[in-house]
């Protein structure tokens, strides 16, 4: 039997595979065999299909049409491709929505999010959940033992298009049950949420609505409970499919494709039910769509910011127990959905592919095989143009396949820095930002970026992770601190950096009785007695860095580690623990991370602008994201297995010890 990858061999001993997302239902059957032949010719060995095909699999209620899918799978398999088969539950067909109109989600204004695109369902709707399980069961019965099928993908991009939060009746009813389970007694809920404030007390669980359509902001504890509930709904929805697939297709990996910079549900919880965490990598679309500076958006327009892809590689590796992960969709050219959609610099598709390998991916699968001339994504590149002529991405994928064959397996991943991230951190900072743009996800990204500019390797881990083997643990912004983390930190012999807002809330969204950093006072003796957010330009300048956006005032016996020119303390130090009392803006984050890395005894290499380093096994992999050639620092000596010391734009080098 095929497997998803060859990572059933000892970890990191198998070469990464390449694949492509393919939609046989979009193309004449006569074209399938030639498509499959060309895929294999380009060095691809996996093909991901089926995730949007419900209307063709089941054209009418209960009438399945397997013929075309049987033949498509057989053709792909005959060419030598292993199939990753998607459950089609992201695109329920019209007949289903018509029979069950209340299955759609409602937005916060109460408007239905109707049929005509995709993801038109509410995670809480019991009827739709049953339908999703039914179609999954039918597919798994048909293909669960098919030798072509190497893995299953559940649904597609949970939460895409803002679909985790639904304000439907089903969600409201489910939320009430969830609350009753969690609190037992409504008086306990009132107490936990502080509902006496503004007379928000409830007499029963049945009286509690969803936190939308309120006059001003709803109680943050109410909002957080709703976020937790909604996240649990995603986990439960996914798990129902996973259970069917495990029953009917044992031994095959189950994967899902997560998104970029997306935190609406707890990916650690969903990941716990998966074998492989997949994610969809669109570096140029993400750069244009998210909060990067205008200067970065221009400088990296055709490459993507050098930390975008790597950040997610290192994040999703921490989302399954096994650490197995893959890129299930890789941008192959211009996309259609950002505000601006430039073409990648020649070489970037290859660079992104090889970088995923260096971070330990099992598979990179390009999205999509051929650009589709109709419907929503007409301007989205594929590896082929709509007329089947090769697009630039195809040659780069083929080159990457040759590079991978020459390089062999990536080698064991290093352990040096653990960066702690939790999804509820981003919910808390989103619900109560206290200042524009101060979200935990971006604090994590800034700290990550600073570490990577020092040439360090980072694992992004949940707060429950074991910290053995790391030299440095960075907690960029973690309002709710689980006891397990405090215990792990107390035993951790390495350096620790605690960032702003950490330990600042209880699990019920209240200030801790002892004031922030709450539980973290066990490792860092301080009280945060006042916080302020700072408008752009309101800064306390230090030596090459500044306190900007956010500042905490501490009462502490710790020593000042970084002091601004006007005497304001940006960072405190107590033994091996640093407390960053300001937002991790790039220059300040650089300074703090450099100090912590030095004290941790880590080998650092100052990266020239745009260059990034990733170690695996005994190799150093270098990636040039800048539009100009860069010189790899002389502090990284060795033999070049790939590339040269002067690396051109989009260049990749692999260096081994002499």
> Which residues are 552's β-sheet partners?
531
Name the residue nearer to ligand GAL (CB basis): 156 or 495. Answer: 156
Burial of 382 (C-beta count, 10 Å sphere; 0-12/13-18/19+): buried
**Structural contact between residues 341 and 289, judged by C-beta atoms closer than 8 angstroms:** no
Token code pair at residue 437 = 């743009």
Nearest Cα residue to 237 out of 180, 282, 170: 170
DSSP category for residue 575:
T
> Beta 540-541 vs 495-498: how paired, if at all?
unpaired
302 close to 284: Cβ distance less than 8 angstroms = yes
Spatial CA neighbour of 42 closest among 299, 373, 415, 349: 349
- Rounded CA-CA distance 124/581 in Å is 40
Instruction: Write the CB contacts of 506 (distance below 8 Å, at least 6 apart in sequence).
Output: 480, 512, 518
Residue 157 among the catalytic residues = yes
Question: Whole-number minimum distance, CB 387 to ligand GAL, in Å?
Answer: 20
Nearer to ligand GAL by Cβ, of 254 and 592: the residue is: 254
Chain length of the chain: 658
Which residue's CB is nearer to ligand GAL, number 338 or number 587? Answer: 338
Instruction: Enter the tokens of residue 498.
Output: 């605690």
Annotate 443-485 with three-state secondary structure.
HHHHHHHHHHHCCCCEEEECCCCCCCCCCEEEECCCCCCCHHH
In sign, the C-alpha dihedral spanning 8, 9, 11, 13 is negative
**Given 51, 58, 131, 157, which residue is catalytic?**
157
What gap in Å lies between CA 471 and CA 253, rounded to an integer? Answer: 33
> Any idea what the Cα angle at residue 275 is, between residues 274 and 277, rounded to 5°?
70
The answer to whether the peptide bond before residue 368 is cis (omega within 30 degrees of 0) is yes
Residues that bind ligand GAL (CB under 6 A): 156-157, 160, 280, 282, 329, 335, 337, 367, 377, 380
How far is the C-alpha of 23 from the C-alpha of 32, rounded, in Å?
10
φ/ψ of residue 431, rounded to 5? -70, -40
10 Å CB burial of residue 639 (0-12, 13-18, 19+) is: exposed
Please, which residue, 226 or 282, has the CB nearer to ligand GAL?
A: 282
Radius of gyration of the chain (CA): 25
Enumerate the active-site residues. Answer: 157, 329
């Amino acid at each position: 039997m095929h497997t998803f990858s060859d990572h059933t061999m000892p970890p990191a001993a198998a070469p990464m595979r390449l694949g492509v997302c393919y939609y046989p239902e979009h193309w004449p059957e006569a074209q399938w065999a030639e498509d499959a032949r060309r895929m294999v010719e380009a060095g691809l060995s996996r093909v991901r299909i089926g995730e949007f095909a419900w209307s063709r699999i089941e054209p009418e209620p209960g009438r399945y049409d397997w013929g075309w899918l049987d033949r498509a799978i057989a053709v792909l398999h005959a060419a030598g491709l292993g199939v990753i088969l998607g459950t089609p539950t992201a695109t329920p067909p019209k007949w289903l929505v018509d029979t069950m109109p209340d299955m759609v989600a409602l937005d916060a204004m109460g408007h239905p999010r109707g049929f005509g695109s995709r993801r038109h369902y509410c995670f809480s709707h019991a009827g739709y959940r049953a339908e999703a399980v039914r179609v999954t069961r039918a597919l798994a019965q048909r293909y669960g033992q098919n030798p072509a099928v190497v893995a299953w993908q559940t649904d597609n991009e949970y939460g895409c298009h803002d679909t985790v939060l639904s304000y439907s009746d089903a969600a409201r009813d489910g939320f009430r049950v969830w609350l009753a389970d969690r609190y037992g007694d409504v008086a306990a809920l009132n107490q936990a949420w502080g509902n006496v404030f503004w007379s928000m007390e409830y007499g029963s669980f049945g009286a509690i609505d969803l936190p939308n359509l309120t006059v001003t902001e709803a109680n943050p504890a109410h909002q957080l409970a709703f976020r937790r509930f909604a996240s649990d709904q995603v986990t439960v929805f996914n798990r129902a499919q996973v259970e069917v697939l495990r029953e009917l297709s044992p031994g095959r990996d189950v994967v899902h494709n997560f998104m970029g910079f997306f935190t609406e549900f707890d990916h650690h919880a969903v990941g716990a039910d998966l074998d492989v965490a997949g994610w969809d990598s669109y570096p140029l679309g993400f750069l244009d769509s998210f909060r990067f500076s205008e200067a970065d958006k221009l400088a990296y327009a055709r490459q993507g910011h050098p930390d975008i892809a790597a950040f997610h590689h290192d994040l999703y590796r921490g989302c399954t127990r096994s650490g197995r992960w893959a890129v299930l969709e890789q941008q192959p050219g211009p996309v259609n959905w950002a505000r601006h959609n430039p073409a990648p610099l020649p070489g970037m598709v290859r660079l992104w592919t090889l970088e995923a390998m260096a971070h330990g991916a099992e598979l990179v699968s390009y999205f999509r095989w051929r650009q589709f001339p109709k419907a929503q994504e007409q301007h989205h590149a594929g590896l082929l143009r709509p007329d089947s002529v090769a697009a630039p991405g195809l040659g780069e994928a083929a080159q990457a396949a040759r590079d991978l064959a020459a390089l062999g397996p990536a080698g064991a991943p290093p352990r040096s820095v653990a960066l702690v991230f939790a999804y509820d951190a981003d919910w808390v900072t989103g619900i109560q930002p206290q200042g524009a743009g101060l979200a935990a996800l971006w604090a994590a990204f800034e700290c990550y970026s600073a570490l990577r500019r020092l040439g360090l390797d980072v694992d992004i881990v949940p707060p429950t992770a074991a910290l053995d083997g790391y030299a440095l643990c960075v907690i960029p912004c973690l309002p709710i601190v689980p006891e397990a983390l405090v215990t792990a930190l107390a035993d951790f012999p390495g350096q620790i950096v605690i960032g702003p807002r950490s330990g600042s809330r209880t699990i019920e969204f209240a200030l801790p009785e002892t004031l922030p950093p709450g539980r973290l006072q066990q490792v860092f003796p301080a009280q945060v007695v006042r916080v302020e957010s700072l408008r752009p330009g309101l800064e306390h300048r230090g030596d090459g860095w500044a306190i900007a956006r956010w500042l905490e005032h501490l009462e502490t016996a710790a020593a000042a580690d970084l002091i601004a020119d006007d005497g304001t303390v940006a960072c405190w130090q107590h033994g091996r623990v640093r407390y960053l009392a300001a937002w991790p803006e790039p220059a300040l984050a650089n300074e703090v991370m450099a100090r912590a890395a030095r004290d941790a005894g880590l080998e650092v290499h100052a990266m020239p602008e745009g260059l990034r380093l990733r170690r695996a096994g005994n190799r150093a992999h270098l990636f040039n994201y800048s539009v100009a050639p860069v010189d790899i620092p002389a502090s990284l000596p060795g033999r070049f297995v790939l590339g040269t010391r002067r690396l051109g734009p989009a260049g990749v080098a692999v260096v081994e010890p002499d």
